[in-house]
Amino acid sequence: MLLAALYALVVLCLSLYGFHSLILALLYLYHRKRSAKHIQGCLPPNEADLPTVTVQVPIYNELYVVERVIDAVAALEYPRERLQIQILDDSTDATTALAYARAAFHSAQGIDIEVLRRPTRQGFKAGALAWGLAQARGEYIAIFDADFCPRPDFLLQTIPYFLTRPRLGVLQTRWSHLNAGYSLLTSAQALAIDGHFVVEQAGRNLAGLLTSFNGAGGVWRRRCIEESGGWQDDTLCEDLDLSYRAQLAGWECLYLPSVDVPAELPPQMAAFKLQQARWAQGSMQVLRKLGGDLLRNRRLKWPQKVMGLLHLSNYLPFPLVVLALMLSLPLLLVPESQRIPLDWLGLAFLGPLLVYSISQQQLYRRWWLRMLVFPLLVVIGIGLAWSNTRAVLQGLKGRRSTFARTPKFCLEAKGTHWTESPYALPFSSSITGEIALMLYGLAALWVARVTGEEGMLPILWLYVIAFGAVAELELAQTIASRAATHSPHAAPPRTPDGSVQRSEGVYAAR
């Protein structure tokens, strides 16, 4: 009975996060009619009233996208005398030469743009942003990662909100996608990101819950950064950390879904796993750091605190998934131990389906076609459980880790390739655990068939397929990358001698 109770507790905790998604979807549906009123007040000011803005682009070894992002931020429509652009370069390869050359080109056109290099890479992205802030002259700080391509009117669409809201500390816009159709993997990622930005972020913000800056595609009031303690490098999610500290200090956060910033999705499973693990570990670090402050804050109501804790702990379902699989085999071996009725908890798992379907309805005309990738997203989400579980445990332990960047390859069409790139990642260490969990699931399947526990078969098959698919895709991609790299016909790495092909017509294509 103890095993059954433990299994029931795990499933109950998993369902809690399912209900969390369901609540956010319902909050979005309830509040969306007043969304226009919530974000009103953005009247184009006179040019003389526009404040000084500093645009920061932190980069580290971005051969393929550095020129694209520099061209994009240089094309921002804003009074030149009130616009400063900082390329915060920590690179150790030829990216630096490319950045200097492209920045010099735009500087000759009268744009205040500069490549800034630190003596060390201390603090990683948080350290770079803090170092750049000390040299910034802007009252407002817009931040874009290297794979982002802001549209020319980004600042004109966002800065006016600050002028009518004195306590607005940070404004986050929606991420859109440069390469959603590149592969099934990028299509599944696009669906996940759409659900987060269209429904979850909007639902939180419209309902007055704590929300977050997502690291790029947003604007900060400089005074908010400084009064909230500045950028700190003790977590891997410096964006989540600062946005929560700012809101706990009484600053407002605004999510603006009407403005989107296209960005690139990682095409390699190993890179996607690396990104998700970094976010998982960083979120747990922020939970450790600010969870107590959140509960003790007197400005917040209890619903805000509870939903805030669920937000910060949003990666905890991954170790729960692994634990549920590990408990399944002992349950099957102990007769009658799995008889606690849990079927009603299945309602909780309608939450993610509702989140993603609503997001596609809001963004696309033929939304149902995009939902065809939802089963793949479910498979990938479960298959990432082992990699993210390790990251969650490291974050809960408070372990400090190196900030591992997600490689970008400038993939805006299906005809481009990444396998020959020196940025392609090797096998991740988590692949062994995924194969082991797949085999464990197969063993549980065999026992379920022998014991006649037919009700366990669907979830066990899902575990086997998920862990097997994630491991197989990473193996196949890594082997293909190694073969391409060692092929006598492989293209040479791109270098600043002119062999790097810049992406032209980025805006015309959208």
DSSP one-letter string for 6-51: HHHHHHHHHHHHHHHHHHHHHHHHHHGGGHHHHT---PPPPGGGPP
| Whole-number pLDDT of residue 337 | 56
Say yes or no to pLDDT of 14 above 60: yes
Whether the CB-CB separation of 394 and 248 falls below 8 Å is answered with no
Average pLDDT over residues 152-158: 96
Banded pLDDT at 483 (limits 50, 70, 90): confident
Say yes or no to pLDDT of 23 above 70: yes
Say yes or no to pLDDT of 383 above 60: yes
Alpha-carbon span 198 to 200, nearest angstrom: 6
239 flagged as catalytic:
yes
Alpha-carbon span 22 to 26, nearest angstrom: 6
**Domains of the chain by start residue, with CATH:** 2-25+315-486 (no CATH), 42-267 (3.90.550.10)
Average pLDDT over residues 52-65: 97
Whether the CB-CB separation of 410 and 421 falls below 8 Å is answered with no
Say yes or no to pLDDT of 43 above 60: no
Average pLDDT over residues 291-312: 97
First to last CA, the chain: 58
User: Which listed residue (71, 147, 239, 260) is catalytic?
Assistant: 239
Alpha-carbon span 358 to 352, nearest angstrom: 10
Whether the CB-CB separation of 460 and 444 falls below 8 Å is answered with yes
- Residue 239 phi/psi, 5-degree rounding, is -70, -50
Q: Which pLDDT tens digit goes with each residue over 485-510?
A: 655 544 444 444 444 444 333 333 22
**Which neighbouring-strand residues pair with 116?**
88
Average pLDDT over residues 138-146: 98
Least confident of 1-5, 132-136, 336-340, 344-348: 336-340
| Whole-number pLDDT of residue 53 | 98
293 flagged as catalytic:
no
Q: Which pLDDT tens digit goes with each residue over 384-432?
A: 999 999 999 999 998 777 777 888 899 876 666 888 888 988 888 899 9
| Whole-number pLDDT of residue 344 | 60
3-state secondary structure 320-334: HHHHHHHHHHHHHHC
| Whole-number pLDDT of residue 495 | 42
Say yes or no to pLDDT of 241 above 90: yes
Q: What is the mean pLDDT of the chain?
A: 90
User: Which listed residue (71, 89, 90, 233) is catalytic?
Assistant: 90
Q: Which pLDDT tens digit goes with each residue over 79-91?
A: 999 999 999 999 9
Q: Quick count: other Cβ atoms within 10 Å of Cβ 357?
A: 19
Least confident of 272-276, 384-388, 451-455: 451-455
Percentage of the chain surpassing pLDDT 90? Answer: 77
Average pLDDT over residues 165-193: 96
